[in-house]
Amino acid sequence: YKYVLRLEERTADGGWQPVTTTEREPYDGVIPTAFWDEGITVVEYSELTPPVPDFPAAPDRYRLTLQMYDGETLEKLPVTQGGEGELIVLWGAGKSEE
């Protein structure tokens, strides 16, 4: 599996537009997800480069999302905790306060 970590900005029509994105296999594929145990939390560290040095941290206008998908079929994985659909909001507008 691979993941997409994306910083998005709310558009005038209420949709979302990517500002910056990183897409990769967790741990660069060194620990393939096929070997992960169900129910175990795996911590991955990743970076997003802001488009400008003093990028505003405005959680009402921006959000950080995570989406996982099958790297071969491109099928998106459903969110099973902390969200719904195919992505989870980690920070900002639309984040669930569970």
Q: Read off the pLDDT band of 98 (50, 70, 90).
A: low
Q: How far apart are CA 57 and CA 17, in angstroms?
A: 16
pLDDT at position 55: 80
Domain boundaries, the chain: 2-92
Mean pLDDT score, 58-80: 91
Q: Using one digit for the tens of pLDDT, what is the confidence trace for 43-67?
A: 888 888 887 777 887 888 899 999 9
pLDDT confidence of 69, banded at 50, 70, 90? Answer: very high
Single-letter residue type at 40: I
Assess whether pLDDT exceeds 60 at residue 25: yes
Number of DSSP helices (H) and strands (E) in the chain, helices first: 0, 4
**Cα 74 to Cα 43, 86, 87, 95, distances in angstroms:** 22, 12, 14, 25
pTM, full prediction: 0.82
Which residues make beta-bridge pairs with 84?
87
Amino acid in position 5: L
